[in-house]
Chains A and B, each alone.
Chain A
C-alpha cells in the first residue's frame, strides 16, 4: 500500500500551555500544560464530562480557551479559527455530510483549499481505507464501520500536522471496534502523523496509544506509557479507572530501609520505597495497592509452602466466578474486605471455593503505594460508561 503523506508532513508536536476552559461558573478544563511529541499516538482518557473532548476541541479551534495557548510545531495558533489550523478532526458519530457522496466528502477539504485536481488524491485515500468501490454512495447507505473509515479518510487527505480523534469508535460494536483499533494503528504507522485520540475506554487507550493522559474533573491525573500507568498509578483514580486495584489502608511502621514497613490490621506488609509515590511518614497512613492478577491464592492448609519475602494476608473466599481464562475470587480479610484476585486456570485447586480459608500473597515489588488522603473509591464507578 502506498503512503500518501508526502515528506515533510510527518506530524508535529502539540504544546498546550496553561490552557483552561470555563463556562460561566463551571470549569470544564483546569489550567493544564501538555506536550504531545511529534508522530506519537496520544490518548486522552477519562469518563464523560472530564474535559477531554473540550481539550481536543481547543486544539482543533472549535472551542476558544479561556486562558492559555495552543502551539503547533512551536507556532502559536491560539487566535486562529478552526478553518485556518493545520489539524483535522474525526468527529464522534463522524459528522459526514449527508448531501454529498463519499467521494465529495473526502474531497471537501482539498476543494476548500482551492485544489482543482483532486481525483488522484481522493482515489488513493479511498484505497488506503479500502472504500474505493463505494465512492459514489451516500454516507447514510454505508455501515458504521465504513462511515468511520470515510471520516478518517476525509481528515487524513489534508495531510494535517495533527489528527484529532473524538471517540471515533464509540458507535461501533465490540468486534468492529477491535478491528478498527488495529486499522487506525496501522494507518497512523503508515502516515506518521501525530494522533490525539479522545476515549473513555481504558482498554482502547492502552491498546492504541504510546502515551496516555488520564483526565478527571478537568485535570490530568497522570500521564505516561500505558504499562507505566497500569503498573505505577500515582492516584487512586488512575489505579481504579485503569483496570482494577485492591487498595489496602495501612499504618506506616518504619521508613528507614529500602522497604517501607506497614501494618494493616495484624498483618505486616512491605513496600519498596521506590514503588511509593506518596511521602511516607512513620505513624501515618498509606494505601498499598496491588493488582488482582499479581496475587497468588493458597489454601490455608498449605500456608507453609508460601515462599519467604512475600506479602501475605489471610482471608476467606466470599465469591468465585469462572470466566474461562481465569477464575475471579472475592476475598474478605481483616486487613481489607472485598479483595479481588484473578487466578489463571492452569492448575486449579478444587478447595478454593467460597467459604475456604486462604492466604493471599504477592511479591512486594508488584505493589504500589498511594497517599491515603484520597478517596479510595475514586474512579471505580465511572468506568462502565455507555458508548456514544
Chain B
C-alpha cells in the first residue's frame, strides 16, 4: 500500500477520476472567474483586471443605471415564455403522441425546424414578419419570438415522456373510477411531469439567455443579455458579475434540491 512506489498504477486506477475532475474544472473555470471578479473593485470602467477585494457591487446590485430594469424585463419574459411554451408544447406533444390525424408526421417534423434553423435566420424572419404585420417591437414581440423557439424543446421533452408511458395506466385509472379529468390530473400529468419540468427549465434558460433573436425583435426594449452586450462596449460594471454569479448559484441550488428530493423519494 505505497501509492508513491507505483505511481503508474496509481495513475491508471484514478485516470477516470482525474479526467472527470479536469473536465469539470474546464467547464467551471469561467464561472469561477465571474464569481471572483464580482468581488473586484476595478480602476476605471472595465472589470478585466484584479485590483482589490470589495463587496460594493454585492451590496448595491442595482447601482448601475438600467441594469436592474433589463434584468427584470428578462425575468418577466423568461417566466411568461416558459409558461406559454410549456402549456402549448405540452398540448402539442400530447396531440402528436396520442392522436392519429392528417399531417401528423409533417407537423412532427416542422416542430423540429426552429431547433435546426440558424438563430440569425429565425431572428431576421421574425423581425420581417412583425414589421409587415405592423406590430410594434417590444415586450410582446420578444415574448412571441421566445415562445416560438422554446416550443420545439418542450414538445421534444414531453413527447418522449408521453410516448414511453404505458397506455394501460390510464385505462387502469378509468377502471378504478377516475373520470377522464381525474385520470388526466392524477395519472397522466404526474407521470408526464418530469418531461414537462425538463421542457420548462430548458425554456427558461433559453429565453433568459437569448441574445440574437431578442436583439432583432426588441425595438427599444433592453433585456439583460442585450444590456451586457451594450455595456461591454462602454465598460463592464461589476454588477454584471454579481448577477451572473447569483444566476449560477440559483441554478446549482435548484439542481441540488432536485437531487435531494429524488434521493429521499427513492429511499422511502
Contact = CB atoms under 8 A, between A and B. Distances in A.
A83 B174 contact: yes
Contact of B175 (A82, A97, A98): A82
Contacts of A340: none
A99 B185 CA distance: 12
A55 to B, nearest CB: 16
A109 interface: yes
A108 B191 CA distance: 15
A98 B191 contact: yes
Given A99-B190, A113-B177, A82 B169 contact: no
Given A83-B175, A158-B177, 20 more contacts: A62-B175, A81-B174, A82-B171, A82-B174, A83-B176, A83-B178, A83-B179, A84-B177, A91-B172, A92-B168, A95-B172, A97-B172, A98-B169, A99-B190, A99-B193, A109-B176, A112-B182, A112-B186, A155-B175, A155-B176
A193 interface: no
B268 A88 contact: no
Interface string A182-203: 0000000000000000000000
A136 B266 CA distance: 11
Contacts of A154: 176
Interface of A: 60-62, 81-84, 87-89, 91-93, 95-99, 101, 108-109, 112-113, 136, 154-155, 158
Nearest to A154: B176
A93 B179 CA distance: 23
Q: Which 6 residue pairs are nearest across A and B when measured between Cβ atoms?
A: A109-B176, A95-B168, A95-B172, A112-B177, A82-B174, A99-B190
Nearest to B179: A83
A61 B178 CA distance: 13
A104 B56 CA distance: 53
Contacts of B178: 83, 108, 112
Contacts of B173: 97, 108, 112
Nearest to B190: A99
B46 to A, nearest CB: 52
A93 B177 CA distance: 20
30 contacts: A60-B175, A62-B174, A62-B175, A83-B175, A83-B176, A84-B177, A88-B175, A89-B171, A89-B172, A91-B171, A91-B175, A93-B166, A95-B168, A95-B171, A96-B172, A97-B169, A97-B187, A97-B191, A99-B187, A99-B190, A99-B193, A101-B268, A108-B178, A109-B176, A112-B178, A154-B176, A155-B175, A155-B176, A158-B176, A158-B177
Contacts of B187: 97, 99
Q: Give the interface size class of chain B.
A: 20 to 34
A158 B169 CA distance: 18
B100 to A, nearest CB: 13
Given A97-B187, A98-B191, A99-B190, A62 B171 contact: yes
B103 to A, nearest CB: 22
B190 to A, nearest CB: 5
B202 to A, nearest CB: 22
Residue with the highest number of chain B CB atoms closer than 10 Å, among A60, A62, A93: A62
A279 to B, nearest CB: 45
B268 A93 contact: no
A96 B191 CA distance: 12
A83 B190 CA distance: 20
Contacts of B169: 95, 97-98
Contacts of B190: 99
A99 B191 contact: yes
A112 B190 CA distance: 16
Interface in B147-203: 166, 168-169, 171-179, 182-183, 186-187, 190-191, 193
A206 to B, nearest CB: 27
Contacts of A98: 169, 191
Contacts of A101: 268
B168 A91 contact: yes
A175 to B, nearest CB: 26
B160 to A, nearest CB: 16
Contacts of B174: 61-62, 81-83
A88 B174 CA distance: 10
A62 B170 CA distance: 10
Contacts of A136: 268
A83 B177 contact: yes
A137 to B, nearest CB: 8
A335 to B, nearest CB: 50
A93 B172 CA distance: 11
B169 to A, nearest CB: 5
A93 B168 contact: yes
A375 B166 CA distance: 39
Contacts of A108: 173, 176, 178, 186
A75 B174 CA distance: 20
Residue with the highest number of chain B CB atoms closer than 10 Å, among A60, A98, A99: A99
A101 B197 CA distance: 21
Contacts of A89: 171-172, 175
Nearest to B176: A109
Given A99-B190, A136-B268, A109 B171 contact: no
A109 B268 contact: no
Given A99-B190, A136-B268, A112 B176 contact: yes
Residue with the highest number of chain B CB atoms closer than 10 Å, among A92, A95, A101, A136: A95
A113 B177 CA distance: 7
B175 to A, nearest CB: 5
